[in-house]
Amino acid sequence: MAGEGLTGTGAFKKVVKDPDELAGRGARRTGDDRWEGKVLRIKELRAGQVKDQDGGWHSMTKVLPVPAATKSTPTVRVERSTLSLRKARDNEAVRKFVKEKIVPEFEKITTKTVTWRKIQPDIELNKNFPDNLEIFKKAYGTAAKSFAPIRIFRELFPEMFKVTGSKAQPVIKLISSRLPEEGTDPAAPDIEEEEVDKPAQLRLTFGKYKKAIMTYISSRPQKFATMSKIGIFLSDQAGYDEDFATAGIGKRGKKGGPSAILRALGFRFVKVPGLKMDVVKNPA
């Protein structure tokens, strides 16, 4: 029992009660309790309870006896899944893969920024490379049966990578090529990571079509094109339909769909006499 060994001249610590301190408790092994860092002095024992120096009473089943000379320390915070993350971060195969495969691919990119869909096959972390995925599944443990590789960047090594964008189209940026020290916990999540710079995301995904669109518009006698013509032209471009489907920007023909792409790329929407709808012109 946790209270065994208590004497009237000793000291004790309590099982932590703060909800934040106990986060993830259910995922730990039975009996793997967490104790307060604060040391309380024993003043009295009575019927299964212990009285501290301030007059508070505590159940002896909820306290841990410690030497009288023990000094108080800050209480260790135990966030949800931190233990499994720490083990995965320290895994030799994981660290080797991140250092020798993932980081070099990002360093080939001038901006060090790329969409998750685009980089995934380059770093060989999709369904075509099950052996690589297995490295991370094993490192995470049995709780990672449906392991999503984006977790490597979002929660495993947040000191190295920043994830922005939507859930459907994450954008990853390499912010440090240096692996964190072993035995450390992941950095606290950055609130700014939840913010989405939509135009920047669209430019990143669809910027490769800008030159072709400009050439198409310039080749037309009026030097402009309707949205329907632009839509047909883009649909004929290799990879566009897949990019559009994963961008999460709305349905075709709806406000916020292809027109949002064109605005993000700098194209102008202007009125032309005789036409009800605005037409698209090249950037000024």
Same domain, 156 and 108: yes
Reference 280, options 234, 213, 221; nearest CA is 213
Q: What is the CB neighbour count within 10 angstroms for residue 148?
A: 10
Q: Residue 18 has what pLDDT? A: 47
- Give the domain-ending residue among 196, 216, 250: 196
> Using alpha carbons only, what angle is made at residue 150 by residues 114 and 126, rounded to the nearest 5 degrees?
85
- Looking at the structure, tell me whether residues 62 and 158 fall in a common domain: no
Mean pLDDT by 10 residues, the chain (284 residues): 54 64 42 69 86 86 82 61 74 92 92 88 87 86 70 88 79 90 70 55 87 94 91 87 67 60 91 86 90
* Same-domain pairing of 191 and 86: yes
Last residue of a domain, which of 196, 215, 247? 196
| Closest residue by Cα to residue 115 from 8, 20, 222, 208 | 208
Same domain assignment for residues 102 and 155: yes
In a domain, 216, yes or no: yes
Could you give the CA distance from residue 243 to residue 253 in angstroms, rounded to a whole number?
16
Do residues 189 and 208 share a domain? no
- Tell me the CA distances in angstroms from 136 to 14, 21, 84, 177, one per residue in order: 36, 27, 11, 19
Do residue 41 and residue 86 come from a single domain?
A: no
Positive or negative, the CA dihedral 176, 179, 182, 185 is: positive
Using the 3D structure, point to which of 167, 196, 225 is the last residue of a domain.
Answer: 196
Q: Which residues constitute the domain of residue 272? A: 203-281
Q: Answer yes or no: do 178 and 212 share one domain.
A: no
Q: Residue 72 falls within a domain, yes or no?
A: no
- The CATH number linked to 269 is 1.10.10
* Predicted local confidence at residue 81, as pLDDT: 52
Same domain, residue pair 262 and 191: no
Same domain, 93 and 190: yes
Burial class (CB in 10 A: 0-12, 13-18, 19+), 31: exposed
**Is residue 139 situated within a structural domain?**
yes
* 98 and 159 both lie in a single domain: yes
Stated pTM of the model: 0.47
**Domain count along the chain:** 3
